[in-house]
Structure 1
Amino acid sequence: MPTPKPIAGSILASLTFPQLGGGTLTVGGTRENWTLLVVYRGKHCGRCKKYLNILNGMRDEWANAGFDIAVVSADPVEKAAADQAEFGWAFDIGYDLDEQQMAQLGVFMSDPLSSGETDRRFAEPGVFVIRPDGSLVIAAISNGPSARPELAELLDGMIFTKQSDRPARGTA
């Protein structure tokens, strides 16, 4: 049975993940800033690394626009830490995204094609923009690694949305 997809404008209940470097990473619920949440496939995905490298280069632009960045995958700590160390990503990284959390976000799930890919079910890409009140403005969900929002265009649109106090679209 397909996982229900999130509804724009609805409140995303808090989700908590273990965070690289210790502690926890929480998204959803009430926050001081807007949040950009990126769900990535994991260490096995070259396209994810390319996307996250672009995001890492845009950290200051997103921060200056009032956004916190959170990135999460189903990878275990060892794989997430290896990627962070290799690429120097400086945003908050969560790991061990579980299937219940994937379902709550409405992301597609895939089984590995081989043990060389990964050893567990993983989330396909999702990009979410969440207002400080916890409501979803953007829920861009893909069933594969090749389709994701272009980050500069997304940022430009979210700056406009914030400045113009635009409502979430696609609510019906």
Structure 2
Amino acid sequence: MLIPRKEVPQIELNLINGTRWSLQAQESESFTMMVFYRGIHCPVCKKQLEELAGKLDEFSKRGVNVVAISSNTEELAKKTAEKWDIPELPLAYGLTISQAREWGLYVSNGISDKEPDQFTEPGLFFVKPDNTLYAASIQTMPFARPGFDDILNMVDYVTKNDYPARGEAEVAMITEMA
């Protein structure tokens, strides 16, 4: 389980433009936002990533580096870029199931011939420049994802108020004596 204020797993993946994306190499001013999406088969992902693509400048103004990541193959990731209106959005592909598990993502088995045999469910992570987790939203289903206007408002608030990452407390174990 990933814990806020603790280091996240390192990850390096290919991008559809022929380069390699590495979390360690990110030099964001505030955060790196990693948006894990289900894949080209998902119409909800299409809507989400098209919304994100339209707000890339807003994230950039706030010092947020953005990448969208899937377990799709290179061929499917390139087809995603061709068919969806996401021209400037960095698309990484080839996320393995073991990498997905390291990030705490849920994995689903395909239920139709339009879906891969296995793929990840959505997740959104904010990683600070020191590679520690700031915030995460992890889902078991494709529905009810956080809106990017809300996320931009969150970035504004937490940077203005130097708001710390939350959810970092360790649970004290209480043992009852019989």
What is the TM-score normalised by the length of structure 1?
0.91
- Equivalent residue for 1:7? 3
In structure 2, how many angstroms separate the alpha carbons of the residues matched to 1:85 and 1:138? 31
Q: Tell me the percent identity.
A: 30
- Equivalent residue for 1:108? 106
In structure 1, how many angstroms separate the alpha carbons of the residues matched to 2:144 and 2:106? 13
Q: Note if 1:77 corresponds to 2:36.
A: no
In structure 2, how many angstroms separate the alpha carbons of the residues matched to 1:31 and 1:86? 28
1:32 to 27, 31, 34: 27
Is the contact made by 1:30 and 1:133 (CA closer than 8 Å) also made in structure 2?
A: no
Matched residue type, 1:102: A
- Range that drifts further, 139-148 or 156-165: 156-165
From the CA coordinates, give the structure whose radius of gyration is larger.
2
Q: Note if 1:134 corresponds to 2:128.
A: no
**Offset at 1:30?**
6.4
In structure 2, how many angstroms separate the alpha carbons of the residues matched to 1:88 and 1:116? 20
In structure 1, how many angstroms separate the alpha carbons of the residues matched to 2:120 and 2:144? 14
In structure 1, how many angstroms separate the alpha carbons of the residues matched to 2:76 and 2:93? 9
Note the alpha carbon deviations across 1:60-88, whole angstroms, 9 max, x for none.
Answer: 00000101111100000111111111224
- Equivalent residue for 1:148? 145
Note the alpha carbon deviations across 1:14-49, whole angstroms, 9 max, x for none.
Answer: 20111111121112x463202110000001100000
Matched residue type, 2:92: G
In structure 1, how many angstroms separate the alpha carbons of the residues matched to 2:18 and 2:148? 27
Paired residues in the alignment total: 166
User: Which secondary structure does the structure 2 equivalent of 1:145 belong to?
Assistant: coil
1:18 to 14, 20, 25: 14
In structure 1, how many angstroms separate the alpha carbons of the residues matched to 2:160 and 2:132? 17
Cα 1:79/1:30, change in 2 over 3 Å:
closer
Note the alpha carbon deviations across 1:124-149, whole angstroms, 9 max, x for none.
Answer: 00000111111111110000000211
**Residue correspondence of structure 1 range 86-101 to structure 2 within 5 A:** 86-89=83-86, 90-101=88-99
In structure 2, how many angstroms separate the alpha carbons of the residues matched to 1:143 and 1:17? 23
- Equivalent residue for 1:64? 61
In structure 2, how many angstroms separate the alpha carbons of the residues matched to 1:91 and 1:14? 21
Moved >4 Å (runs of 4+): none
Matched residue type, 1:32: E
Unaligned segments of structure 2, at least 5 residues = 170-178
- Equivalent residue for 1:124? 121
What is the TM-score normalised by the length of structure 2?
0.89
**Offset at 1:6?**
1.4
Unaligned segments of structure 1, at least 5 residues = none
- Range that drifts further, 77-86 or 44-53: 77-86
User: Which secondary structure does the structure 2 equivalent of 1:127 belong to?
Assistant: strand
In structure 2, how many angstroms separate the alpha carbons of the residues matched to 1:169 and 1:26? 25
Matched residue type, 2:26: R
